[in-house]
Amino acid sequence: MYVRAMLRALAVLLFVAAGALALQGCNASCAAMDVRGVSAQCSGGAKGYMWTGTGCIYTRACNCTGADCQRLYSTQDACETAHIHCSAR
């Protein structure tokens, strides 16, 4: 009886977690981020992961002029999670 209750609680927890991940991704657009001024040669500027419209890549933008320069993701996992709904398109 205790095992059945634990399994039921685990199932509910997994369902809630999956729903939260799905909703988190719905806030992000599937269009490529507007990040211009990308260069591998600079040492400063905006650094992080950007969505290209098909995947996430690490970038360094020395003189970033795009609207999304301040919205780069700190990790690839965060970028991919935010755009998980885009892979079905």
DSSP conformation class of 50: E
Count of structural domains, the chain: 1
Give per-residue pLDDT as tens, 16-57.
444 444 444 445 689 999 988 877 677 777 889 999 999 999
Alpha carbons 73 and 83: distance in angstroms, whole number: 11
Domain of residue 83, residue span:
2-88
pTM exceeding 0.85 = no
Six token digits for residue 41: 């040669």
- Cα–chain-centroid distance for residue 8? 30
Radius of gyration of the chain from Cα atoms? 18
pLDDT by residue (tens digit) across 11-27? 555 544 444 444 444 45
Are 50 and 68 within 8 A, CB to CB? yes
